Structure 1
């Protein structure tokens, strides 16, 4: 399980005295616990690894946005800290599909659903998310779906 791997890596980083890595791993653990709390009381419990990956994807997206803002603002030291955290987060994320693979998946789903106009975008995106949620950056995929349907 991904959650156990993160805990193990935290202990290893603590023993090695790698403070930036420990801090990033603790951030990940805190976000996962926050999601656990959100999920309490809900009847539908998602696959644990899928939930952890979703948390990691959101954290990675936040870090990328922060890096851009810090670099635009001339705050290189903060951008470097965010890059360090992003590197740790990305270690635990599954391999992301490339642009060519994503576009091929979009075309496959379009033909299966008979989608041919922008009215079908929601259906295509829903199916794409259902099949490839952990392997795609849905923001980028959305642009490609829109491009493909127009």
Structure 2
């Protein structure tokens, strides 16, 4: 997937609201999808740095939660998905990651974390998946945010 397409897709996921009930719905949706596929994933949803939902499915480990921490740190720094940033860094001259003062202990450019954007406010948090190939982690998060947006619109 190209960077421009990822950016357009992320912008299409603009929500009107995001509260603890939305985080619970989103997390349960992801857990149900992952369990149905026997996906060994970790799921985490954060708003303003607070964990609102966290789950490990069978096969996922604490290491996946470490990856999530580093993916979300990148999302919150750049307000773009960790997969978009991966593609951006891959296309940049060598050393771009370091030139931003990033290190692999705190940030990682690997797909799976997507910003949660609120209309009129901007990025307020992130949803993150770890345990599959980075493209699949990214797709899980994007699809879940699209499902949440549709769920919210259906309730309105």
Q: TM-score range by the shorter chain?
A: under 0.3
TM-score by length of 2: 0.24
Q: Which has the higher contact order (CA 8 A, sep 6+)?
A: 2
TM-score by length of 1: 0.25
